[in-house]
């Protein structure tokens, strides 16, 4: 996991990495298929910017700090992948330069990170909640938190101090970051804190260590809304690129990119096609011979 509190990392170095790159023709075929699909939704005048020809791309192999090795492509061969920004999977937000997501079964829980900057806002409309409580809550609590009318909430994208981006629900539809955090009055926070301390003492398993520390910090800060620290769901899977190896152009210089149908078939494909043609020829020879005899 990347940690904003950790020391400055040594710069990633070019080096020979174990294993081999994927076959260039396979990668090219995949890119062309993907790009043809993408171009159906993009005006041709914008293709150079949003869906470039394959001859623009340079291939790299990179090693991450989880030791996994993966392949990346960059427009041009000048800037190494460790100095570029990559996106979280599934059209996710841009990660800090030189990071990639790589999920492992033993990735830790999401940590709390402080909000460093507010970005854009959007509204989401929700239907009324069902009357029946969902599984995760009992009926009394549900009666208190249930929305019996359709409602709209505002969400702000916030950059956390780890450089990752999370959605934060606003305390009110009209709230904006310049309004500042809303605090609960001091006397009420004191009451809440005493009540919460009593609850924790009577049931030490009430909250996980992480949640208990978060609640303590928020009570000490006056129970601010929105919370100035948020869970970062990217941190557990974000890895740094620690080394890279140059892999060559996706379309070797001097070779014109060939459309999909003209890409050179593999030896196995050609052999299979030859066997089929030979079998067909043999079949025709037998038919001819039978006809002559008949």
CB of 246 to Zn ion, least distance (A): 21
When binding is defined by CB under 5 A, the residue of 235, 241, 250, 251 that contacts Zn ion is 235
For Zn ion, the closer of residues 32 and 82 by Cβ is 82
Please provide the DSSP assignment of 140-199 as one string. Answer: HHHHHH---S-EEEEEEEEEETTS-EEEEE-SSTT--GGG--B---HHHHHHHHHHHHHH
For Zn ion, the closer of residues 66 and 192 by Cβ is 66
* Interface segment toward Zn ion; rule CB under 5 A; list 46-54, 141-149, 197-205, 228-236: 228-236
For Zn ion, the binding residues in 162-221 under the rule CB under 5 A are 162, 164
For Zn ion, the closer of residues 28 and 160 by Cβ is 160
When binding is defined by CB under 5 A, the residue of 102, 169, 231, 243 that contacts Zn ion is 102
Query: Per-residue string for binding with Zn ion, 2-41, x by CB under 5 A?
Result: ----------------------------------------
CB of 211 to Zn ion, least distance (A): 18
DSSP state of 98: T
When binding is defined by CB under 5 A, the residue of 36, 42, 46, 68 that contacts Zn ion is 68
**In angstroms, rounded to a whole number, what is the distance separating the alpha carbons of residues 119 and 177?**
9
CB of 117 to Zn ion, least distance (A): 13
CB of 232 to Zn ion, least distance (A): 3
Query: Per-residue string for binding with Zn ion, 145-164, x by CB under 5 A?
Result: -----------------x-x
Total of chain residues touching Zn ion, rule CB under 5 A: 8
Alpha helices per DSSP H over the chain: 24-39, 47-50, 139-145, 186-202, 209-220, 267-293
**In angstroms, rounded to a whole number, what is the distance separating the alpha carbons of residues 104 and 236?**
9
Q: At what angle are helices 186-202 and 209-220 packed, to 10 degrees?
A: 160
Please answer whether residues 115 and 230 qualify as being in contact, where contact means their C-beta atoms are separated by less than 8 angstroms. Answer: yes
* Interface segment toward Zn ion; rule CB under 5 A; list 37-45, 46-54, 95-103, 127-135: 95-103
For Zn ion, the closer of residues 235 and 250 by Cβ is 235
For Zn ion, the closer of residues 69 and 200 by Cβ is 69
Closest residue by Cα to residue 77 from 266, 263, 249:
249
CB of 224 to Zn ion, least distance (A): 20
Query: Is residue 1 close enough to count as binding Zn ion by CB under 5 A?
Result: no
- Residue 165's alpha-carbon distances to 7, 22, 36, 54, 155, in angstroms, are 21, 32, 31, 31, 12
DSSP β-bridge partners for residue 160: 115
- Exposure letters 61-85 (e unless 16+ CB within 10 A, then b): bbbbbbeeeeebbbeeeeebbbeee
Closest residue by Cα to residue 229 from 210, 208, 204:
210
Query: Is residue 66 close enough to count as binding Zn ion by CB under 5 A?
Result: yes
Query: Is residue 242 close enough to count as binding Zn ion by CB under 5 A?
Result: no
Binding site for Zn ion (CB under 5 A): 66, 68, 102, 162, 164, 232, 234-235
């Amino acid at each position: 996991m990347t940690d904003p509190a950790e020391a400055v990392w040594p710069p990633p170095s070019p080096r020979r990495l174990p294993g081999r790159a994927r076959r260039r023709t396979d990668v090219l075929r995949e890119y062309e298929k993907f790009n043809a699909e993408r171009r159906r939704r993009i005006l041709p005048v914008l293709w150079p910017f949003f869906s470039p020809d394959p001859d623009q791309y340079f291939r790299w192999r990179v090693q991450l700090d989880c030791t996994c090795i993966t392949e990346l492509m960059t427009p041009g061969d000048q800037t190494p992948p460790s100095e570029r920004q990559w996106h979280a999977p599934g059209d996710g937000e841009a990660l800090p330069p030189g990071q990639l997501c790589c999920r492992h079964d033993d990735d830790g829980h999401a940590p709390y990170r402080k909000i460093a900057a507010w970005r854009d806002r959007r509204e989401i409309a929700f239907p009324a909640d069902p009357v029946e409580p969902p599984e995760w809550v009992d009926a009394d609590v549900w009666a208190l938190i249930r929305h019996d009318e359709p409602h709209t909430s505002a969400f702000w994208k916030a950059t956390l101090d780890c450089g990752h981006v999370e959605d934060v629900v606003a305390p009110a539809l009209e709230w904006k970051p310049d309004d500042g955090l809303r605090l609960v009055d001091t006397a009420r926070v004191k009451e809440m804190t005493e009540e919460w301390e009593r609850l924790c003492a009577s049931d030490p398993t009430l909250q996980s260590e992480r949640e208990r520390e978060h609640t303590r910090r928020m009570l000490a800060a006056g129970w601010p809304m929105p919370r100035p620290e948020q869970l970062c769901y990217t941190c557990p899977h974000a890895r740094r690129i620690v080394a890279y190896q140059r892999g060559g152009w996706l379309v070797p210089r001097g070779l014109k990119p060939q459309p999909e149908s003209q890409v050179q078939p593999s030896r196995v494909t050609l052999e299979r096609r030859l066997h089929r043609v030979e079998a067909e020829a043999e079949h025709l020879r037998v038919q001819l011979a039978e006809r002559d005899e008949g």
